A and B are shown apart, each in its own frame.
Chain A
Amino acid sequence: MRKVLLLGLMLFLVNAVAFAQDRVITGTVSSTEDGQGVPGATVLVKGTTIGTATDIDGRYSISVPAGNNVLVFTFVGLRSQEVSIGNRSTINVALESDITALGEVIVTGYGTQPKREVTGAVSSVKGDAIQNLPLQSFDRALQGRAAGVQVRSSNGLPGGAVNIRIRGVGSINAGNEPLFIVDGVQLNNQSNASFTQSNPLAFLNPNDIESMEILKDAASAAIYGSQAANGVVIITTKKGKQGKAKFEFNAFSGETQPLKYLDVLGGSEWYAMRRDALINSGNTAPEANSLNTMGRLPSNWASLTRAQLDALGLALPTYDWQREVIGLGRLQNYELSVSGGDDKTTFFLSGSYNYQQASIRPIDFERGTVRLALTHNASDRLSIETNINLSTFQQNVPFAVEGSFLGNPAFSASAVLPHNNPYNEDGTYNLAIAGVLGQNIVQVNDYNSGIQRTNTVVGNLITNYKILDNLTFRSLFGLDYRLLQGDNYRDPRTPDGAGVVGRSSVQSDWRTRFITTQTLNWNKSYNGVHNLSSILGIEYLSETREGISGAGIGFPTFQFRTIQSAATPESITGFWTGYRRASAFGSVNYDYKKKYLVTATARYDGSSRFGINNRYGWFPSIRVGWSLVEEEFLKSSSSVSEMKLRASYGLTGNDQIGNFAARGLYGGGGNYSGSAGILPSSLANFNLGWETNNTLNFGLDYGFFDNRVTGSLDVFDRRTKNLLLDQPILWINGFGSIANNVGELQNRGIEFEITTVNVDKNGFRWNTSFNFSKIDNQIVKLYDNLKFLPANPGIAIGQPVGRDGGGANFIALYAGVNPATGRPMWYDINGNITYLPLAADRQYFGSNLATTFGGMNNTFSYKGFEFTAFFTYEYGGIISDGQYSFLRENGTRLALNALREVNDRSWRTPGQITDIPRNLTTNAGNETRGASRNSGSAALLRSDFIRLAQVTLAYNFKPSLISKIGLSRARVYMQGLNLWTYADYPGYDPEFTGAGTGATPLTKNYTLGVQIGF
């Protein structure tokens, strides 16, 4: 004991001596994320200007003057750490990712800004949040991640369309798509695939994304002018970091499963249902007629009694067509990336392969990508940079992507009569399918084939030149090139190919977009309190699109499946279109001590799309902020760590109309008797200009308890004026509509985001992020004092528009079934019962646009284990689902199968209260002098749902453990997508867009994955 004390005293003395002089501290700065050294991190002796930077391996050595005992380690993107030196001479620190977000830098229009200084409504989604999700395009992954951003898959086609709406729907006839920018290249995200849906954004491997910023308010987006009305999504891809080459291998594989099978009737049940419908219709031989409809009437039926026939019907078998064509699929993903560099050059190189099947054969998606990001500092002043994304993906196409086609598996699987056996006894396809769906969808989808291929190059070349220390010139040249190719074969052995003895259709579609942006960035600080920066730039964009497509018919045998074998060319056509845009823009940022913040921007755009009198437009904006935490009264607060009030107002434009919409044209068409025709195709509107979004936004960013609770609150009023509306023209005047700037639409909303660290104790950490948006959408004004649009009365003042700018539901209110007779009833405009509602009885019933939506993410981590549960939700949409409507007919109009729950509810006995009418076969299943059973609001559904969109359980191996085998990082995980959905919904799934008839439903995905860094 004494020895110990003595030793301690000696050490103290030594230290005391050391304090008197400089001492050298060495060590390594690493990142907790991957355990790798952080090159270029700053090590500063607190309270001095003495500092150094870490070398390529993260090592440093610093001389600390006497009397100083604290080192500050900082690196962009990582949380700073202060470490007391004590008596150590080696200090290794591991910096954590800066998850509190407020120190982060946000990409804004043509520049970046610390999040603390952002005064607009900008949501940021980090690449980490969406990493390794088995989703083909990043837009899909945005669902539920950011307030104000509403995302819906159009269907379950991998790489299919995604409907993304930022702050509601701002346009009726022009597009509602946001502007997507990848590495400074403004993309064209229109899809023109003929044979399936191919989402152009699926070109990018989502794992190559560093961050996504969503500019929501007009003021933030206004610097993009006429492109920005629907918001802007800026994608920044991963770049190399200084340091030795880091390899990362990433793989996952798994399976897709159907979300749901519909519970439809079996063979004997369908027989009985039809029999009873025939009885209700006064048929005298209901058993025989029911059997006949099912193609099972024996030839000797006349000699059989009704009871015998009934026994035949009740003995009919049941085959599960849904499980025959809707089942499990495979998915897999492999990636390898290398990044690194020295102080002159950094690089990031990645390659990836992704494959995913839908639940319905043969639908799939297969993609390969190569990406290169390279930065080279040629001198202190000059740097060059390039980002190149090469991508090809192809999709096997089903008979049809959507619609009530007999051969469409997604349509027919639930609707084909269930007593049909898909196969004959000898295993061959049964081609005698009874009922209106007389095709064997198994055979049709096995024999037909088709493929859609999308080849994309998105790249840029950037030169930065530091003219002065505070003045940089940046020159960007970008290219967005896409070639879409497809072919589709109707096999002559299938019904649709038989008539024409096979048909091959082909398509090629090229889209080329050049963009160049030249900017000057300048900043200056006066006395350290007045900070001023500005951007000045010009931009030019040119896009052309051309295509050619054709079809040939008459094939020698089914083995010949390409168009050159066709005997007869059936059709051949092509097109060309293009547009150009020239712009100048600028912005000025000013802040006083980071306390009062002001940004003003302006853009002047000229576009070839608009009328010659109205080609140019101004898009100014202003935003102001007051950072309360910088004020003395909050600076010392221990509970408030961030508090900023924001206000902004700006103008943005929407130019998403046809390239020649302003022109009066005669186009080709109307060929007759083998010679060519022309016809007037559009009316000229010399005054046609953009529609303007004026958005007023108030926001609050907050952080409490050392940013353990952070988030923001925004309220906005977005007014779209001079709507690009297809103003109806009386048909008697020879045209259907003219593109005009009339009318006004309003989206008012509130957005709320909160992120909390609920528990952070003993290595256990629980984070929650939640966001909520509520948007009221309504039409404020039309033209000529009209209350509604003559051609589309769903477009009416005071009513919301739909997701795609379509009208509100405008139909008669369903009153259920008359309990005495089983007849369906509706309300007329006076609230009285009617069997035959008229046009005048229609009422408004909301639209398919959900009013409330958002998401919630929970992450639990403990000693390398990580558990994530992510929910999305949507409320308030009123939709019609074509597939459900067909099935809701309950087999009365057509010989289609029916939902069990619908049939169970159908009216049978007087006094029964129900919503499904009695079954009938006459008059297309409807009462004579009665509206059809799905009329009015009878078949409308609520599209509300809460979905467990993602569950991940991961384990990160300890860096110390795996470094022994040469690895810097190892992570294994299990993941599930869409595992649980809460929805009171009778169809496949409430998440779809379009009519819903025969749409391929979304899938559940299960994956197992591994990430290895070395």
Chain B
Amino acid sequence: MKLFNKAFLFLALTGTLLVSSCDSLLDVQPRQSIDANGALSTPDAMNAALNSVYAKLRSTRNYGRDLLAMSDALADVGFTTSNSGRLISENNNQPGAHFQAGFWQNSYFAINEANLILDGLTAVKGASAAQLARWEGEAKFLRALYYFDLVKVYSYIPTAIFQPGVIDQGGIPVVTVGVISSGEALGRKVARSTIDQVYAQIYKDLEDAKRLLPTGRGVQYASGAAASALLSRVALYRGDYPKVVAESTTALASSVGTVLSGSAYVNGWRSPVHPESMFEVSFALATESIGVNESLQSSYTALLNLTNKNSQGGWGDFIPNARVRNFFGLAALQIGTPATDNNNWDVTRNADVRGQLYTTGNTIRGAGRQIECTKFMSKSGFAYADNVPVIRKSEMHLNRAEANYHLKNESAALTELNAFKALRGLPAVTLSGAALLEEILLERFKEFAFEGHRFFDLKRYGRAIVKTTPAVNLAFDDFKILPPIPQREVDGNPNIKQNKGY
């Protein structure tokens, strides 16, 4: 019985020890994460949190691919090769083949992070006024950029709203307060703001960014000049033409970015940081490469690099159509023998220097040797990664010319257009009225082919998308102009209205 007592005592003791110190026995702290509570209370944490908001721009669903390649596939810029089977249904404007749920998700996640930064500004210990201004300015610039990208995709553009309130279902949900607790996360069910409210919010953020960011810290980060440049584009979409002129002028006067001409312009596309960029998304590390399947380079060309065309590169899924080839007089040209060597091929070109950004690919993929766009050729120094220009300074000229046209300043518009054409090696034109607008838009098409502008340029004028290859005529009244809002966001939020047709 003695032994029994001992054992029982032992067990009881151990048990008591276990229960009494259970909380410490069960105490395990994560080592690679920190508690969300107070996570942003230091300047270093703020810097790091801001980095993540920038980093989300790199997503394949945002500037990594879709805002450029998929957007142009939806428009009338090119056709698909079927090499990997990607972008085909988008190019055919099939129902549902449009911006994906991940674009909405990634963008709103970034917006929440920006909101948390803005909410947390007052709680940062030991921050200087300059730091506070920078965080606020950059967060607001980014928030504006994400909202602008979302609203131009999911809603009609103010200059061409189709059957307002009937087919048009308004803008997108605007949230300006961050969510970090489960209560808000489960409870907040925001409705779509009106299109005008969304644009007003974007204006507000960009005006703040302009004020708070007098100087930038490199074109991979937001700056006041970049805010002006973005504002110029937002105003153009909004039909606020005096604002376009004002902001374009401010942006052009800034020291951020350089408008290039001639071969310097072509070379600009070969340097890691595009000299024309006023804001670009940085791909700095090899791990950030989007890879062989969905990177911009792989989407556009089967080449690995321009030095040896025989090296196996990406897929070359989406290539210029006849219209774009005709802009620059592109036709395949054998420049040596044997013909089987891909290095013995190039293209014919006209005087437009932009033709230098196209050449023949290789025969490795199924579609064989095709004429491809080479704007993205692993400039960052590792495979399948390029910094992606979001706003090039050239756009300011074209924005201002277009705005001046609408403001009836046709001569200013024509002068600016011709000056720009000269930069690209093209002769001046003498046009007026609608023909002048068409020429400005055409110049925009040529300049920004494969950069994701064309779909929205058509959309903001309410124009149909007309393609011969593939034979698609997507009228502006077609519901497929807009993508569906992710179904889960509609199913889980009684206040939100789905776009018509889905």
Query: A interface vs B, CB < 8 Å?
Result: 292-293, 295, 299, 434-436, 438, 465, 467-468, 471, 473, 495-496, 498-500, 518, 520, 536, 538, 540, 553, 568, 570-571, 575-582, 584, 606-608, 615-616, 659-660, 663-685, 727-736, 738, 788, 790-793, 836, 838-839, 893-895, 922-924, 926, 928-929, 932
Q: Taking CB as reference atom, which chain A residue is nearest B80?
A: A924
A924 contacts B366, C-beta separation under 8 Å: no
> Which B residues lie within 8 Å of A924 (CB)?
82, 85, 88-89, 92
B334 to chain A, nearest CB (A): 11
A493 to chain B, nearest CB (A): 11
Q: Which of A465, A467, A584, A732 contacts B19 (CB 8 A)?
A: A584
Extra contacts, 19 of them, besides A536-B11, A665-B33 (Cβ < 8 A), are A295-B368, A471-B7, A571-B286, A665-B30, A667-B34, A669-B52, A669-B55, A672-B52, A673-B221, A676-B51, A677-B48, A683-B185, A734-B185, A736-B105, A791-B491, A894-B85, A923-B92, A923-B94, A929-B95
Q: Check A839 against B502 for contact (C-beta < 8 Å).
A: yes
Could you tell me the distance between the alpha carbons of A674 and B95 in the complex, rounded to whole angstroms?
40
Determine which of A570, A727, A730, A788 lies in contact with B493 in the assembled complex, contact meaning CB atoms within 8 Å.
A730
- Name B57's closest neighbour in chain A (CB-CB): A672
Question: B53 — which chain A residues lie within 8 A by C-beta?
Answer: 670
How long is the Cα–Cα vector from A268 to B50 in the complex, in angstroms? 58
Select which of A434, A582, A616, A733 is within 8 A of B188 by beta carbon: A733
Q: Which residues of B contact A836 (CB under 8 A)?
A: 95
A732 and B382 contact, CB distance less than 8 A: no
Question: A677–B52 contact, CB under 8 A?
Answer: yes
In the complex, the chain A residue whose C-beta lies closest to that of B490 is: A790
Quick check: B15 and A584 within 8 Å, CB to CB?
Answer: yes
7 pairs from A and B in contact (CB 8 Å cutoff): A499-B313, A571-B285, A679-B49, A730-B189, A731-B489, A893-B88, A926-B94
Pair A665/B35 contact, Cβ less than 8 Å: yes
The residue from B55, B304, B491 contacting A671, defined by CB atoms under 8 A apart: B55
Given contacts A500-B383, A677-B49, A666 and B84 within 8 Å (CB-CB): no
A729 CA / B30 CA spacing, docked (Å): 24
Q: 8 nearest interchain CB pairs?
A: A734-B112, A670-B52, A677-B51, A790-B492, A790-B491, A664-B36, A666-B39, A677-B52
Closest residue to A465 on the B side, CB-wise? B7
Interface presence of B181 (CB below 8 A): yes
Is the Cβ of B48 less than 8 Å from the Cβ of A733?
A: no
Q: Are the CB atoms of A922 and B82 closer together than 8 Å? A: no
Choice from A295, A581, A788, A923 contacting B470 with Cβ under 8 Å: A923
Tell yes or no: B175 within 8 A of A by CB: yes
Q: When the two chains form the complex, which single residue of B54, B181, B221 contacts A683, counting CB atoms closer than 8 Å? A: B181
Q: Are A659 and B47 in contact (CB under 8 A)?
A: no
Judged by DSSP, the binding face of A is: mixed
* Chain A residues near B220 (CB-CB < 8 A): 672-673
**Could you tell me if A664 and B37 are in contact, using CB atoms closer than 8 angstroms?**
yes
B253 CB-CB contact with A under 8 Å:
no
Whether B166 is near chain A, meaning CB under 8 Å from some CB there, is no
Contact of A895 among B25, B36, B82, B190 (CB under 8 A): B82
CA distance A608 to B48 in the complex (A): 29
Interface set, chain B 29-86, CB cutoff 8 A to A: 30-37, 39-40, 45, 47-56, 58, 82-85
CA gap between A496 and B50 in the complex, in Å = 34
Say yes or no: A495 contacts B312, CB within 8 Å. yes
Interface of chain B residues 283 through 299 with chain A (CB within 8 A): 284-288, 292
Could you tell me the distance in whole angstroms from the C-beta of B316 to the nearest C-beta in chain A? 12
Query: If A436-B83, A665-B36 touch, does A582 touch B26 (CB 8 Å cutoff)?
Result: yes
Interface hub of B25, B33, B37, B40 (most chain A Cβ within 10 A): B33
Residues of chain A contacted by B133 (CB below 8 angstroms)? none
Is there contact, CB below 8 Å, between A664 and B35? yes
Residues of B within 8 A of A467 (CB): 3-4, 6-7
Q: Would A734 and B83 count as touching, CB distance under 8 A? A: no
Q: How far apart are B69's CB and chain A's nearest CB, in angstroms?
A: 17
Q: Which of B343-367 contact A (CB under 8 A)?
A: 363-366
Chain B residues lying within 8 Å of A436, measured Cβ to Cβ, are 82-85, 365-366
CA distance A975 to B220 in the complex (A): 66
Q: Which residue of B lies closest to A494 (CB)?
A: B312
> Given A495-B312, A673-B284, A733-B184, A581–B26 Cβ distance below 8 Å?
yes
- Cβ-based interface call for B28 (8 A): yes
Closest-by-CB residue of A relative to B92 is A923
Cβ-defined contact, B32 with A668, below 8 A: yes
Tell me which of B4, B88, B178, B288 contacts A923 (CB under 8 A). Answer: B88
With A and B bound together, what is the CA distance between A615 and B181 in angstroms? 20
Determine if A670 and B502 form an interchain contact, defined as CB atoms under 8 angstroms apart: no
Could you say which residues of chain B place their CB within 8 Å of the CB of A733? Answer: 108, 112, 175, 179, 184-185, 188
Question: With the chains together, A292 CA to B367 CA distance in Å?
Answer: 8
CA separation between A500 and B291, bound complex, in Å?
11
Q: Please report the C-alpha to C-alpha distance between residue A675 and residue B221 in the assembled complex, in whole angstroms.
A: 12
Q: Which residues of B contact A293 (CB under 8 A)?
A: 366
B451 touches A (CB below 8 Å) = no
Q: Answer yes or no: B135 CB below 8 A from chain A CBs.
A: no
CA A491 to CA B366, docked complex, whole Å: 23
CB distance from B388 to the nearest CB of A (A): 13
Closest to A616 in B: B22
Q: Are B181 and A664 closer than 8 Å at their CB atoms?
A: yes
Please tell me if the beta carbons of B284 and A674 are within 8 angstroms of each other in the complex.
Answer: yes
Shortest CB distance B347–A (Å): 19
Q: Quick one: which of B304-331 are within 8 Å of A by CB? A: 304, 311-313
Are A553 and B175 in contact, CB atoms less than 8 angstroms apart? Answer: no
A928 near B189: Cβ-Cβ < 8 Å = no
Bound CA span A536–B33, Å: 38
Q: Are A729 and B185 in contact (CB under 8 A)?
A: yes
Inter-subunit contact B89/A540 (CB<8 Å): no
A435 CB to closest chain B CB, in angstroms? 6
Interface positions of B from 148 to 190, Cβ below 8 Å from A: 173, 175, 178-182, 184-186, 188-190
The docked-state distance in angstroms from the alpha carbon of A271 to that of B48 is 56
- Nearest chain-A residue to B26 (Cβ)? A608
User: Which residues on the B side are within 8 Å of A731 (C-beta)?
Assistant: 104-105, 108-109, 486, 488-489
Within the complex, the shortest CB–CB distance from A518 to chain B, in Å, comes to: 6
Contact A553 B384 (CB under 8 A): no
Q: Residues of A contacting B188 with CB < 8 Å?
A: 730, 732-733
A259 CB → nearest B CB, Å: 29
Complex Cα spacing A932 to B96, Å: 12
Quick check: A678 and B366 within 8 Å, CB to CB? Answer: no
| Residue from the list B36, B85, B111 in contact with A684, Cβ < 8 A | B36
Answer yes or no: B18 CB below 8 A from chain A CBs.
yes
Within 8 A of A (CB), among B231-287: 282, 284-287
Q: Which residue of B is nearest A466, CB measured?
A: B3
Q: How distant is the Cα of A538 from the Cα of B14 in the complex, in angstroms?
A: 8
Q: Would B11 and A538 count as touching, CB distance under 8 A?
A: yes
Distance (whole angstroms) from the CB of B286 to the closest CB of chain A: 4
Q: Which residues of B contact A434 (CB under 8 A)?
A: 366
CB distance A738 to B185 under 8 Å?
yes
Q: Are A670 and B51 in contact (CB under 8 A)?
A: yes
- Tell yes or no: B432 within 8 A of A by CB: no
Set of chain A residues within 8 Å of B364, measured between Cβ atoms: 438
Task: Decide if B48 touches A732 in the complex (CB within 8 Å).
Answer: no
Complex CA distance for A437 and B54, rounded to whole angstroms: 36
Contacting pair B7 A738 (CB below 8 A): no
CB-defined contacts of B186 to chain A, threshold 8 Å: 727, 729, 738
If A468-B4, A520-B8 touch, does A672 touch B175 (CB 8 Å cutoff)? no
A575 touching B32, Cβ below 8 Å:
yes
Q: A736–B105 Cα gap in the complex (Å)?
A: 8
A736 and chain B: residue at smallest CB distance: B105
Task: Note all chain B residues with C-beta closer than 8 A to A680.
Answer: 36, 39, 112-113, 116, 180
How many angstroms between the C-alpha atoms of A670 and B106 in the bound complex? 12
Closest approach, in angstroms, between the C-beta of A242 and any C-beta of chain B?
A: 27
